[in-house]
Amino acid sequence: MKKLRIYIDTSVVGGCLDDEFKGESLKLLDMVKSGNAIFILSGLLAREIESAPKAVQDVLSGIPASNSDGIALNKEAEDLRDAYLAAGVVGMSQKNDALHVALATVARADMIVSWNFKHIVHYDKIRGFNAVNLKEGYLPIEIRSPLEVV
């Protein structure tokens, strides 16, 4: 059976150290550590956590290289992000949120997982992201919270 390829945003990494989100975030991390799923880790995620406390930076250190893929920041994802912004799916102040979704889409992730219920894991936003994906020739992407995956 094909392993799920899961793109995570920064909220999942930080969630591993937050009392409210720790349980499901750590279960998701364990799914990957045990080889039952693959994390897609982006250059944007790396950039966002580089200024975080060391404990946050260390969350992903136990992930075996065989259970993760990377995607660098790239023009294709930036163009898709710009299409989300132009369509009004999210505003300019949420451009990194849009870029996370774009990177997941371009990487052909099975899903993006996030705790961001305002700008990513939100019914209207999911519909908007996927409408733009279809218009731009991409497949729709599943957008879920860790609660729905573990």
**Tens-place pLDDT, residues 95-122:** 999 999 999 999 999 999 999 999 999 9
Per the prediction, the chain carries an average pLDDT of 96
- If you average pLDDT over residues 59-76, what whole number do you get? 94
120 Cβ contact partners less than 8 Å away, ≥ 6 residues apart: 9, 97, 100, 101, 112, 114, 143
Q: Is 90 exceeded by the pLDDT of residue 1?
A: no
Rounded Cα distance, 94 and 116, in Å: 11
Of 96, 104, 93, the C-alpha closest to 142 is 104
pLDDT in tens, 23-66: 999 999 999 999 999 999 999 999 999 999 999 999 998 899 99
Task: Give the chain's domain count.
Answer: 1
Rounded Cα distance, 27 and 37, in Å: 11
**For residue 77, what are the domain limits?**
4-148
**CATH number (domain holding residue 76):** 3.40.50.1010
Handedness of CA 141, 120, 71, 78 (dihedral sign): positive
Entry pTM = 0.96
